Chains A and B, each alone.
Chain A
Amino acid sequence: MQETIRIDPATRLEGHARVNLQFADGGAFEKIEFQSFEPPRGFERIFIGMPGEEVPRLAAKICGICYSAHGVAAVQAVENAWGVEPPEGAKKVRELMLLANLLHSHTLHFVMLAMPDLVCNSHEKKNVIGLIDKDRQLVETSMHLRVIAQKTTEILGARQINPAAIVPGGMTKSPTKEELDRITAIIDEAKNLVQTLKIRAETLLNTRTTLLKEFAEIKSHFLCLKQNGHLTVCNDDLELLGRDGRTSTMSTKRFSELVKERVVEFSFTKRPYLEGSVGLEDELIRVGPLARVNRCNWKNDLLRKFEQTFSRPTQSTLAYNIARVIEIEECVKRMEDIVKNGVDGPFRVTVKPRAGSGAAIVEAPRGVLYHYYSSDDQGTITEANVITPTGLNAFAIEKSAEAAARTRLQQKSAQEVTKEDLDMIEMAVRAYDPCVSCSVHVTQIERRV
């Protein structure tokens, strides 16, 4: 009989998922299924019939981590549908909110979720409590950084989580000079705090080199928004880096032609793939920090060290963790630039809805996030679609876990698998910082009759 070992639930990731290891009849490890059983909430069905201006606030509630990313992607898509151009001030505020989102999410992941795997020794100690024993300063620093990110969101969006001020046409809240000064001051603090994370990342590069480079490696395509000289979270151009190393640039408008979705029978998360892929291997696509860092040209000393270890572009799965720290620093730099160059009103214009459809893509912490809406002439939503980064990464997560299992288990039978083996397999899954609840929802475009 076939045997299955389950890592159930997979922990230190967002949402409900398990990792199923399948073994051949009395024999060796065969394959892995990454199964998400997060309840399908049906957001895009709920959007239909709502006034378009209500969508961004509800969309923010798709995820308790990437609320700003969902909120901003949704509002941009609705604005595109209605042909609205928000004022520059509002665009800057939204970009700051996206960056603050990335800052708190990456910090949470690198320190509290990923670090225990890399620095805590025993199975029992691999959690945030174990990490506090080992490196209290790092945990405290990360909490401080997260407070800074959440404060920024609160100042700009009225709430720390699920910002309320996002509305088609701009922002309902105009930041005052005092508030912007406060942001400048806390970003200044963040610059110092980031150094602690960088030192830890450098240590990992020096001490865990082979593990980071080789463990759970797979070969995939990468997709991200075209990166300018700074960490770019909003852009109209996408960049696809092929498995063969070739890159192509295209408008974000072509996303829906580029990415198709498939239902798998064992998971509530659907599997997007690149249209025109030849064979399963060719369908593997990755988004997120590694995609962005592979394609960026930022001036960053940790990036140089990253390059020395992995070369660029790299296919190393665990390089995701280091890429996150590079992005944390770039994120703080970009926030500082925006605030220093001035964030001036007006922050909102009035909007007249019209019949139409529009899409938008932003870089969420975990990668490209796509929202699409269409509305009737009153601005009532008639179609909605969301494709999330964890959905895009789902197949790669499975294949990376499989690569990890092959390295760890070799010829072991199901009975011989140890806790430590399973920890290592989970670590490969965790490198992607999967956010399972986001990835489960209605993604089929529906037409209202």
Chain B
Amino acid sequence: MQILMDVKKLEEPIDVLLVEGCVLTQHDQDILGKYARFAQKIVAIGSCASFGGPAALGNRFYRGDILRKMYPSSNPSGKSKIPTRGLPSVHEFACPIDTFVRVDLFVPGCPPEARTLRDFVNGIIENKRSFTNVKTVCDECPRKRNGESPSKIMRIIEIDEIDPDTCLVEQGLICMGKMTAGGCGAVCPSASAPCEGCYGPSMTFRDISSVDAPTIFDFWEKRNLARNNSH
């Protein structure tokens, strides 16, 4: 809560430690480890702390490559100048906080919806470990499913009019609702914006590798590949 408070050093018992953000630098890891020792309970707030978040999308590349691209030399032929003086080292992978400390409660969402935060406050008072009882985003989504598979995959920018009442997947859009934990109220698909899976994998869908963004990228690569081959 650096943004609101003026506490520079915290060295007293903490009832509930709320952690936002993933761990990407040694400083992140050190400060997390240090405060975790004072904490009774540790709560991961948001998808970065819970699953790694957008920064973890960078895990698909070598961190060194990203840094060299970020901090190039001022002259074109020279070596890159990655800033280091007085700075923490940067980890290869952006990781969720439970890689380093025990976590009592995950509050997913990018960001967690107000209703999720309210459930969390009640959950922590009642000492629950998990408080989401909606299985998937689809279970909360007002759109109707007719059980028909789309004839082809569509891009949202190509669709002339998105039917406000029919399931986005059945209209050909890639919507992650089916695999994503509910609790958000299906706010995105309700507004014709496909679910991007920010609440993380649904408990009914444990195989994480099949729900994260690379799936979409794979699809995209294959689509481009197929197009190039057809030329």
B4 shortest CB reach to chain A, Å:
5
Q: B216 contacts which chain A residues (CB < 8 A)?
A: 54
A341 beta carbon closer than 8 Å to chain B: no
| Residue in B7, B70, B87, B224 whose beta carbon sits within 8 Å of that of A42 in the complex | B70
| Residue in A42, A159, A263, A264 whose beta carbon sits within 8 Å of that of B188 in the complex | A159
- CB closest residue in chain B, given A435: B3
Identify which of B11-19, B20-28, B100-108, B201-209 touches chain A: B20-28
| Residue in A8, A41, A116 whose beta carbon sits within 8 Å of that of B58 in the complex | A41
A245 beta carbon closer than 8 Å to chain B: no
Given contacts A41-B24, A378-B224, whether A446 and B155 have CB atoms under 8 Å apart is no
B41 shortest CB reach to chain A, Å:
22
A441 beta carbon closer than 8 Å to chain B: yes
Contact A380 B70 (CB under 8 A): no
Bound together, the chains give a CA A43 to CA B190 distance in angstroms of 27
Encoded as 1 (CB less than 8 Å from any B CB) or 0, chain A from 393 to 437 comes to 000000000000000000000000000000000000000000000
Task: Please classify the interface of chain A as helix (H, G, I), strand (E, B), loop, or mixed, using the class held by over half of its residues.
Answer: loop
A26 beta carbon closer than 8 Å to chain B: no
B196 beta carbon closer than 8 Å to chain A: yes
A207 shortest CB reach to chain B, Å:
22
In B145-167, the 8 Å CB interface with A consists of 155-160, 162
Interface size class of B (residues with CB under 8 A): 35 or more
A184 beta carbon closer than 8 Å to chain B: no
Contact A270 B188 (CB under 8 A): no
Identify which of B32-40, B77-85, B135-143 touches chain A: B77-85
Contact A167 B94 (CB under 8 A): no
Contact B110 A162 (CB under 8 A): yes
Q: B63 contacts which chain A residues (CB < 8 A)?
A: 42
Given contacts A42-B58, A172-B162, whether A351 and B157 have CB atoms under 8 Å apart is yes
B196 shortest CB reach to chain A, Å:
7
A353 beta carbon closer than 8 Å to chain B: yes
How many residues of chain A are within 8 Å of chain B by beta carbon? Answer: 67
A389 beta carbon closer than 8 Å to chain B: no
Contact B83 A264 (CB under 8 A): yes
**Most chain A beta carbons < 10 A, residue from B24, B192, B193:** B193
Contact B192 A14 (CB under 8 A): no
Contact B111 A162 (CB under 8 A): yes
| Residue in B67, B84, B155 whose beta carbon sits within 8 Å of that of A51 in the complex | B155
Instruction: Give the interface of A toward B (CB within 8 A).
Output: 7-9, 11-14, 16, 20, 35, 37, 39-43, 45-46, 49-51, 53-54, 57-58, 61, 64, 112-113, 116, 126-129, 157-162, 164-165, 167-169, 172-173, 262-268, 270, 350-353, 378-380, 441-444, 446
18 contacting pairs across A/B (C-beta < 8 A) = A13-B2, A13-B3, A40-B70, A40-B90, A42-B58, A43-B54, A45-B69, A61-B110, A116-B6, A164-B193, A263-B71, A263-B83, A265-B83, A265-B85, A266-B83, A266-B86, A270-B70, A380-B220
